[in-house]
Structure 1
Amino acid sequence: MPQQFTQATYHSLCNELALTDADFNQIIKQHGYPPFWSRPNTFESLVHIILEQQVSLASALSALNKLRERVQEITPACILLLTDAEMRECYCSRQKTAYIRYLAAAIISGQINLEGFEQMEDDAIRRQLTALKGIGNWTVDVYLMFALQHTDVFPVGDLAIVNAVKRLKGLPKETPKEELVMIAEQWRPYRTVASMLLWHYYLSDRKPKP
């Protein structure tokens, strides 16, 4: 079974990271603990993550809410009944419409079993999901972190995480991702929780100063 974190263990894991990395200790002192970001392990959550690919979180949420209005419950069967025009009206691009339909068909056919993922290791889940068109490592990382609460995922494809590490560690902008992955090694086996702290730092740092 993969190691998972819960709301009950979250702060203690943040504290453990703060003991090993003074920068994390400073984040908690300045900004408090990061929110416990989580999503249910559902088709809708994966659709939401696909919609978040390369757009703002607000745009993705608008599209998700439009889909909810249209079908009430976002299930594979309901999504496959929508026409191209209806998907467009829900702010879904042609590309993302195709990705969401591939996922819906894979779940209906039994190729993908979200409940079964709860007992599986990261690599096995990643192999199954990235076999679907439109699902890459970033989408899988976010799913593992938010929907399954696996403790040791570092989403190096996430721009906010990349920028947060560079700013926190005083690294030049041109620092390669391979170096960031090496830095993240020191946060094992809690790289997911470290990423939550980094997102919290990134978002808190962007808030307008009073």
Structure 2
Amino acid sequence: MKWIDHVNYIKISPPNDFSFPACINFFHRTDQEILYRIKDDTLYKLFKIEEQPILCKISEQATMIKIDFPIYQPTANEKEKIVQYLVEWFDLSRDLQSFYEMAEQDKILQPIVEKYRGLRLIGIPCLFEALVWAIIGQQINLSFAYTLKQRFVETFGEQLYVEGESYWLFPTPAKIAEMQVEDLRMLQFSERKAEYTIAIAKSIVNGDLTKKLLRQQGDYSAIKKYLMTIRGIGAWTADYVLMRCLQEPSAFPLADVGLHNALKIQLSLAQKPTIEEINDYAKQWEGWQAYATFYLWRSLYEAI
């Protein structure tokens, strides 16, 4: 990914079929998110690299992605890591030409893709964050999931206070590995979710669970199978993590309620489609199921 270091700020040259406004609009879908802030179409995100907190101000300037550093000028190595994160976060390495060619011939995707073209699959580059967020979201509504996430971050994460605003870092696996189930139960985690979260934190701290290890399992099916051997991770959670963290384009969370609702709305159905019907609709999406799902999720936020 091409980027330019201007000393006081950096610029990333995005790929074709990337729209910064389309991505920012997706971030606007909830006001409950605690891990970033949006002000005047500018995204503020806190990083921590080798114990150094770095606040980034991310905006668009003449089709380039511009990253300013309001409180601390990072080193060249720190800038490199920030760029790597942003490339994953916005899926900037992906060539979407074949996805758009497929979608333009698909009756479900065509109107959505036309409306939101340039939207990238917004990832969750941190494996621990992706796994915990997926576990938090199991079998509860999205609003309550965000409430639990906020409590989790504010209780165990780190805060940077700048000019009257709080910026938060997701809790580290090392921090959560030291917790007891009761510590998470106090936040209204179920006992099972608390157990899963702590166990996964310990696995990551011990080096038994990493993105590198997951990718070494082989293809999408092999990684999904491996993830599902971990207590607390079923098919939906595995696909969600494959989609949002490993950015596997074939990941397809078939049981996802948002996916079902979006299809019901797009097809003007009287009731949600069955799994068999969804598989039938998705025959054309082979290799791009994750992007199809993400665009369908986006369609749920029509007012944005």
Indicate yes or no: 2:176 matched with 1:91: no
TM normalised by structure 1 equals: 0.81
Q: 1:33 to 1:57 in 2, by over 3 A?
A: farther
Is residue 262 of structure 2 the alignment partner of residue 161 of structure 1? Answer: no
Which residue of 2 is the match for residue 103 of structure 1? Answer: 200
Secondary structure of 1:203's aligned partner: coil
Matched residue count = 203
Q: Please point out which of 67, 70, 75 is paired with 2:172.
A: 75
User: 1:115 is matched by which residue type in structure 2?
Assistant: K
For residues 1-210 of structure 1, the aligned pairs below 5 Å read 6-7=91-92, 9=94, 12-30=97-115, 33-34=118-119, 36-72=121-157, 74-119=171-216, 120-173=218-271, 175-204=273-302, 207=303
Q: Quote how far apart the aligned CAs of 1:50 are.
A: 0.6
Q: CA deviation at 1:190?
A: 0.9
Q: Which runs of 5+ in 1 are unaligned?
A: none
Instruction: Report if aligned partners of 1:151, 1:189 keep a CA contact under 8 Å in 2.
Output: yes
Superposed CA deviations along residues 102-136 of structure 1, whole A, max 9, x for unmatched, are 32233344443333223432222222221122111
Is the Cα–Cα contact under 8 Å of residues 164 and 199 in structure 1 kept in the other structure? yes
Cα distance between partner residues in 2 of 1:84 and 1:8: 39
What is the CA distance between 1:79 and its match in structure 2? 1.2
Q: Distance in 2 between matches of 1:8 and 1:109?
A: 30
Structure of larger gyration radius: 2
**Structure with the higher strand share, 1 or 2:** 2
Q: Which structure has greater helix proportion?
A: 1
Deviation string for 1:158-203 (max 9, x for gaps)?
0111222233234452642112112212111211111111111123
Greater shift, 182-191 or 56-65, is seen at 56-65
Gaps of 5+ in 2: 1-87, 158-169
Q: Secondary structure at the match of 1:49?
A: helix
TM-score (norm 2): 0.59
Taking only the aligned residue pairs, the percentage that are identical comes to: 28
Counterpart contact for 1:39–1:146, Cα < 8 Å: yes
